[in-house]
Structure 1
Amino acid sequence: MPDWLLAMIVQNDLGIESLRSYQVRDSGNVAFGGLKDGYDILNPHSTAAIIQAGACGLSSPTSKFYRSTALLADMNAAALYLIKTQHEDGTIDLLSTNFHSTPDTGFIVKRLAMSYTLMEKSGTPGVEKVLPNLKTFLIRGGEALSRGGIHTPNHRWVVSAALTKLNELWPNPKYAARIEQWLGEHIDMDKDGQYNEKSTFIYSSLTDRLLITVAKGLKKPELLDYVRKNLNMTMFYVHPNGEVVTDASGRQDKAVIGTLENYYYPYRFLAIKDNSGEYAAMCRLIEKTAGPKTGAFIDYFLTDPSLWVDLTAEKPLPVSYVKTFPNSGLVRIRRNNWDSTLIANNPVWFTFMKGTAVLQGVRFASSFFGKGQFQSEKLTESGKTWTLTQKLDGPYYQPLPKEKIKADGDWEKMPKTDRQQSEVQILETTIQIKETSEGMEIEIMTKGTERVPAALELIFRPGGTLKGVSKIENTKDSWLLKNGTGSYSFGTDTISFGPGLALHKNVALRGALPAMEAPTVFITGFTPFKHVIRFQ
């Protein structure tokens, strides 16, 4: 085994020890064998985790749990608990949200089918008495996966990959038929190389792993072309510090701080299969920036020794580019150690990073009729300038025509759509963004209704140091840039920004989103608002 895999085994051993501490060990307890989560809730996912991690330990000669009969007994108790909590239809529950859930059954079945393979090959004494219990859970799960429904696009591939692993162990025509039925809907990939959910931290990488599983198990190499396209796109979603751009996600990972560990298996699999220097370089980058986190996928590597070989020579990754992803409404600009992301259809429409110094978002709002949070449906490019726009109206309403008035005077029965509008106020906002020789420049312009309070919000990542700004009294971490240039430093990296403007201190404008839990610098004024700010 290569050194990186041996390191994963050491880390997995620590995980096994932790998981065992959460297991119910009282044989007289109805929950015997089950595992609690951090909230003390017994659940199938935590319980399955001890089987997954345990199988990796039992089958690894360098593990302290190699062929451990004590651990095997704990895993058997966990398997029996899973059977006990499995519904008659073969499904399990995700207690935080989904019940009688086929997709969540698929997540568990796929990994436990891999565990079954590792356990079977481990040579652990007594394993032949445990495997039938695990098989019972898996076969019953297969029944659910063969007919159950889904919620989200990626769930189709979760179910398909789980059925693929079951079909490898116990071939069944109905498994293959159900997979073909889901694949018949085609893969949900746009021209940018992104899946429907645009979930760069969680679900894009998950879909890559699932499609590889199906491609291998059902001999459908054409599915790998989708994985390649997504991996090629992802190379342009990498911040200089090794994080992945998450701002355009349509799922729960939107704007989270995410690293690339979830992509390690897809990149390594195709780096070896395609002899790709670019994919090999991505593997090295992930090892450097998120190495320990790749251990979450140790079972993928233990069940496929072809991935243990050395990677090919690396080729340079893109580090200086302007790349547009129109289907995601996103533009990526990177110049070696700094980068910027422009985002449409999002209240956070600009980010800027210099190494470890991170401006994690810029927002603009006005107190225009309680609906002045700026958001643009489109991001248009003209030459070297990108433009975001928003047009708002604020009408008043005249008395209803007599024939529309309700006798009981019920306001809800007399909608505004039946009233004539008057004194209609208009506020148009245009934001233009362009690259400069040292960074980025934003120009904000409004026209229409005058004297509307407005505020530009610069949201920095917690942990750094602000200079050149003034604290706003009675706030936790809000600041004004009154004039000149401010700076934000984290470690040895610094972002400078300015010039400032502070014509008022109202930074909690009616209709604007609440302040984020982060150090935030405001630039304030009134409409017609026109201001240019530069980041470098």
Structure 2
Amino acid sequence: MENITRKSFLQQCFGLGTLALLSPMIGHAQYINTSEENFYQQIVRANNKEVARLLTVFSTDITEIKRRLGFDLSNLAAAYCEVKSDYYQKRELVVAMTKIIRFLKKAQQEDGTLNLGNLASPPDTAFILDPLCIATTLLKQNASPALSELLSLLKEFILKAGESLRVGGIHTPNHRWVVSAALAQINALFPNKAYVARIDEWLSENIYIDGDGHFLERSMIYSEVTDRCLITIARLLKRPALLTSVRKNLHLTYFYMEANGDLVTNDSRRQDQFMTVNALPFYHDYRYLAIHDNNAEFAAITKFIENVKGFDEKILVDLLPYCLEEPLYLKPLPAVQNPSVHFEKFFKTTNLVRIRRNDTTSTIFGGADFPVVIASGRSTNPTFFTFRKGEAILKYMRFSTDFFSTGYFRSKGITYKDGKYILHQSIEAPYYQPLPKQFKKANGDYKHAPSTDGRFWNKMDFANRPKSNIKTIDTSISIEEKNGLHELTFTSKGSEGVSVTIELCFKEGGQLTGVKEIENSPNNYFFEGETASYRFGKDSIDFGSGIKKHSKIKGLEGEMYSSHFGSLKMDGIFVYLTGTTPFEHRMTIS
């Protein structure tokens, strides 16, 4: 990675000092660096606050089974075992923990699973076993007569659940590693060769990671799940080779990271391709490998994540159990080496481009899975461009035509030529002639199948019908970046008179100038002038020029969605540029 000055990077990341731990021990940590001892005290204080809340929560009956119960028990166990905690060895914590595990045992199915997310689900049961096994590890290391009943209940639940994981199945790629990590944790508590054999059976399928660093699902949510699970298996079963894939994925993840910690998900094949997610869950993974590998850049990213909004509420609050169970988390971080904040990266395996110029970033995407099928496990995001300048965010730019209701433009890959990224899609829509004699059926009951262009289905035996009157539309979008300024050129030709729409979605809460609000349609604007601007706080995005040739802005998703009353429209402020084919328009964004 290209280096920048340490001062510049730390100003952007608001980084803290690195940990300097003298001798970690279960239940207590001693530091040689006062500021870092304060960080550990922050962890303990966060746990104290959470435990105070939990004691109130569990003063009443538990009524809902959820994964969070595992973290609740784990936090209570950490407080009970940490000598610096306000709740060290307090009897009321044992009462609350016992209530949780009794509830979970009652909810446990005969086969050992829980109805958690899915019915009698081994992988969902594995998710809750992670914090439960950590809690059991801590409590066993601090065993006393006061904990005997609690430990017995935990053992019964975990072993019964372990058997369901040893023989049970999964749904998705990451589930294999979730189940395997849970089995590794159970094996560390209650050794059993059968657990390891099952882990090896899953691992024998091999861990796929592409040349850029994507796991199978290309999802930031499930990449983090996979990273953490592989780390768990590697450390508990002494399989260091598993960390190779984790390192590769974490290297990629940095380039997908925005200046505020949000993560790019355009090329995901799971539900997060239409969600806003951030880097917070990756904290454990970066911290572990920063220390394990003495990786200075991972250390810098670790410190950055500590200052991402929500760290205290979502990470710090649950950190104590992990620190006590695996002392490596509290060893000194290496001195940071600052990753570049000035780069241009073309990820060819998913056809995604990331460009960053300090706090200005852009993403170009042209890697949807074809044929486009709306289902989890397929990449269908029509967002081809996003742009951020500080707090001013263009959440997405999309291009749509009303060409036979085919909807949004989705590029078939990206080509880089003469400094420009070129996206392209060509669509044909035929009409159909009568079936040839040899394919006709007396009862008229023909095969139920998709049309040859994939737009719709019917019992028409489309594959055997001659095609005629074939209409086409060919669209190209080229994007060139120069020091934060992007020039976009749109060309759409073929059938004439087709309405086309360029859709820009800006982050809600900002202010637009140079556009005209659409009557009786809040947060929707037409842009036909030369220049316009979007401002959020102290940051602004300038764009132009505009064009308006028609007023059709509904149903941009196309028949694939409208036939089921679906929509891909997200929250935001929308600006529309409209034209008709043959269409050519050039605009800049900076």
Percent sequence identity is 39
Cα distance, 1:402 vs structure 2: 5.6
Go from structure 1 to structure 2 and tell me whether the alpha carbon gap of 1:226 and 1:404 turns closer, same or farther (over 3 Å shift).
closer
1:339: how far off?
A: 0.8
Asked whether the equivalents of residues 348 and 361 of structure 1 are also in contact (C-alpha less than 8 Å), the reply is yes
Give the CA deviation at 1:280: 1.0
The CA deviation at 1:408 is: 5.2
Quote how far apart the aligned CAs of 1:443 are.
Answer: 0.8
> For residues 107-126 of structure 1, what are the structure 2 equivalents within 5 Å?
107-122=127-142, 126=146
Residue 9 of structure 1 aligns to a residue whose secondary structure is: helix
Any conservation in 1 of the 2:357–2:483 contact (CA below 8 Å)? no
8 A contact 1:157–1:207 mirrored in 2: yes
Instruction: State yes or no: 1:316 paired with 2:338.
Output: yes
Offset of residue 442 of structure 1 = 1.2
Alignment of 1:36-47 (within 5 A): 36=63, 42-47=64-69
Name the residue aligned to 1:39.
none
Q: 2:408 touches 2:556 (CA, 8 Å); kept in 1? A: no
Following TM superposition, by how much is the alpha carbon of 1:447 offset from its aligned partner in structure 2, in angstroms?
1.2
Structure 1 window deviating more from structure 2 (287-296 vs 128-137): it is: 287-296
Unaligned runs of 5+ in 1: 26-31, 37-41
1:79 matched to which residue of 2? 101
Partner of 2:217: 197
- In structure 2, do the counterparts of structure 1 residues 219 and 402 end up closer, same or farther at CA, with 3 Å as the change threshold? closer
Give the superposed CA RMSD.
2.0
> Which residue number corresponds to residue 385 of structure 2?
350
Does the residue aligned with 2:477 lie in a helix, a strand or coil?
strand
How far the C-alpha of 1:124 sits from its partner, in A, is: 6.8
Q: Structure 1 residue 351: deviation in Å?
A: 0.6
Deviation digits for residues 461-514 of structure 1 (CA, Å, limit 9, x no counterpart): 112111111111122311111111111111111111111111121111465355
The 1:474–1:213 alpha-carbon spacing in structure 2 relative to 1, beyond 3 Å, is same
| Structure 2 length-normalised TM | 0.84
Query: What residue is the counterpart of 1:416 in the other structure?
Result: 462
Counterpart residue number, 1:302: 324
Q: How do 1:54-203 and structure 2 match up within 5 A?
A: 54-94=76-116, 96=117, 98-122=118-142, 126-200=146-220, 202-203=221-222
Give the structure 2 partner of residue 519 of structure 1: 573
Quote the Cα distance in structure 1 between the aligned partners of 2:431 and 2:463: 12
Matches of 1:404 and 1:270 in 2, distance apart? 63
Whether 1:369 and 2:404 are equivalent positions in the alignment is yes
Question: Deviation of residue 309 (structure 1)?
Answer: 2.9
Report the number of matched residues: 520
Q: 1:107–1:392: structure 2 CA closer, same or farther, 3 Å change rule? A: same
Contact 1:242 1:259 in 2 (8 A): yes
Matched, 1:532 2:554: no
Match of 2:500 in 1: 454
Bigger Cα displacement from structure 2, 396-405 vs 143-152: 396-405
Residue equivalent to 1:430: 476
Q: Deviations over 1:17-45 (max 9, x none)?
A: 444455474xxxxxx5xx34xxxxx1152
Aligned twin of 1:488: 534
1:80 and 1:522 map into 2 onto residues whose CA distance is 57
Partner residue, 1:500: 546
- Which of the residues 326, 339, 359 maps onto 2:361? 339
Letter of the 1:106 counterpart: A
Judged with a 3 Å threshold, the aligned counterparts in structure 2 of structure 1 residues 261 and 125 are, in CA distance, closer, same or farther, namely farther
- Cα distance in 1 for partners of 2:355, 2:524 equals 28
Deviations 1:162-212 (A, max 9, x none): 111111111111011111111111112111112111112x21122111111
Shift of 1:84: 1.4
Change (3 A) 1:125 1:14: farther
Map 1:200-279; keep pairs closer than 5 Å.
200=220, 202-279=221-298
Find 1:390's aligned residue among 409, 425, 428: 425
The corresponding residue for 2:306 is 287
Matched residues in 2 for 1:235 and 1:119: separation? 36
How far apart, in 1, do the equivalents of 2:556 and 2:304 lie? 44
Match of 1:48 among 56, 70, 75: 70
Structure-2 separation of matches of 1:307 and 1:419: 65
CA distance in 1, matches of 2:145, 2:46: 24
* Native 8 Å contact 2:43 2:319 kept in 1: no
Distance 1:455 1:105, change over 3 A: same
Alpha-carbon deviations, 1:206-228, whole Å to 9, x = none? 21111111111111111111111
Structure 1 CA distance for aligned equivalents of residues 56 and 267 of structure 2: 39
Give the 3-state SS of the residue equivalent to 2:400 in structure 1: strand
Deviates more, 1:106-115 or 1:289-298: 289-298
Work out the CA distance in 1 between the residues paired with 2:142 and 2:271: 38
Q: Which has the higher contact order (CA 8 A, sep 6+)?
A: 2
- Structure 1 Cα separation of the partners of residues 124 and 569 of structure 2: 35
Asked if 1:469 is matched to 2:515, the reply is yes
> TM-score normalized by structure 1?
0.92
